[in-house]
Amino acid sequence: MSQATLEIRAISGHAGSVPGAGVRREFEVCKLIDTTTCIGCKACEVACLEWNGLSFSETTFNNSYQTMPETQWNYWNLIKFNEHEREDGTLQLLMRKDQCMHCEEPGCLIACPADGAIVQYVNGIVDFQQEHCIGCGYCVTGCPFNIPKFSPTARKVFKCTLCVDRVTQGLEPACIKACPTGCLHFGTKPEMKALAENRATQLRENSGFENAGVYDPPGVRGTHVIYVLHDASNPELYGGLPKDPHVPWTVSFWKGPLKWIGNIAMIGGLLGVFAHYLRFGPKVESADDETPRPGGAASRPATREPGNRP
């Protein structure tokens, strides 16, 4: 599993081709989160902090188990709790481990202007390279999952790396390693997809969860973190997991058609004024211009613009 997982597929803000792209055979990695067997123990949260050397942040209490409202620049892995009341009046405690989804079409990378600040590896991991990050925060705008977070002290943006440093050494991400119930799995995308579909089928057929399903949103061309949900028809219940995430259309338009329109207009403008100069040349002042004008000063008293003195 370790070989060549750091081969790069896409680079943010990069002019020219991606070196070595498409040369080697490569598989795509995937993290599977089965929310139906999560017990909300937060071992994954702790393992994430431990492995990545992040300091423990101040937690907040809002009458639930949730550590803090959302992930932070130094807290990349957060279980979102929702005490959901079902139609029959019974309570369902929904727990979803929230982190970077490692989109196949990453809005952060599309929005990023800094050369090499965000890379997408061929194995599907989307990774921030803080040494190239300029701290503009465009990735924050581009992400449909509210994941990249700006650090006011570092003035850079941080997020989950899918433990790329472990994955390249043939290890699973730290959160997977710590999970006591086995609700977290790590493998290739086809393996995890098959496992997830199998589990969803079990839930539908044997456990009475008619709407159970796999969350692998096609709006971002799939993700390298996928979920099994008891109710895949309503992912918003799971701490605001978007039902149909896309790269925001304004970001796509800005980085797509508007860029072409703008470039053509700017180059056209420069060529236009140059061509005008070649064709018509400059207006040259005469020593004493007495050219008569239509409706000029001679016939129209200049009362409409009083006081225009420097």
Partner 1 sequence: MSSTPLLANGRVLRYSFRERLVHWLAGFSYVYLLLTGLAFWSPWLFWIAVVLGGPTVSRELHPWVGLIFVFATFLMYGMWGGQMHETEPDKEFWRALGHYVRNEDELVPSAGRFNAGQKLLFWGFFWCGILLLLSGLVLWFTHLIPWGLRYVRYTAVLVHATCALLTIGLFIIHVYMGTAMERGAIGSVIRGDVSVGWAKRYHRVWYEHLLRDAAARK
Query: Is residue 141 a contact point for partner 1 (CB under 8 A)?
Result: yes
Query: Is residue 88 a contact point for partner 1 (CB under 8 A)?
Result: no
Cβ atoms 133, 90 nearer than 8 A: no
Residue 8: name the closest of 35, 26, 34 by CA: 26
Segment contacting partner 1 by CB under 8 A, of 13-21, 38-46, 185-193, 204-212: 13-21
Cβ atoms 103, 109 nearer than 8 A: no
- The single residue among 10, 46, 52, 135 that binds partner 1, judged by CB under 8 A, is 135
Residue 198 C-beta: closest distance to partner 1, Å: 33
The region, left, alpha or beta by phi > 0 then psi within -120 to 50, assigned to residue 268 is alpha
Strand partners, 214: 228
Alpha-carbon Rg of the chain, whole angstroms?
28
Segment contacting partner 1 by CB under 8 A, of 24-32, 118-126, 206-214, 266-274: 266-274
d(CA 168, CA 105): 22
Residue 58 C-beta: closest distance to partner 1, Å: 18
- The single residue among 2, 3, 146, 201 that binds partner 1, judged by CB under 8 A, is 146
Segment contacting partner 1 by CB under 8 A, of 41-49, 60-68, 168-176, 269-277: 269-277
- The single residue among 52, 150, 188, 246 that binds partner 1, judged by CB under 8 A, is 150
Return the number of other C-beta atoms located less than 10 Å from residue 234's C-beta: 14
- The single residue among 53, 89, 152, 182 that binds partner 1, judged by CB under 8 A, is 152
Query: Is residue 250 a contact point for partner 1 (CB under 8 A)?
Result: yes
Residues whose CB falls within 8 Å of the CB of residue 131, separated by 6 or more in sequence, listed in order:
none
Total residues at interface with partner 1 (CB under 8 A):
65
Query: Is residue 285 a contact point for partner 1 (CB under 8 A)?
Result: yes
Segment contacting partner 1 by CB under 8 A, of 84-92, 150-158, 211-219, 227-235: 150-158
- What is the 8-class DSSP label of residue 309? -
Dihedral angle computed from the Cα positions of residues 103, 104, 106 and 109, in that order, rounded to the nearest 10 degrees: 130
Strands 91-98 and 78-85: antiparallel
* Residue 253 tokens, joined: 């338009």
Task: List interacting residues with partner 1 (CB under 8 A).
Answer: 13-15, 70, 111, 113-115, 134-138, 140-141, 146, 149-150, 152, 155, 240, 248-251, 253-254, 258-259, 261-263, 265-266, 269-270, 273, 276-277, 280-297, 300, 302, 304-306, 308-310
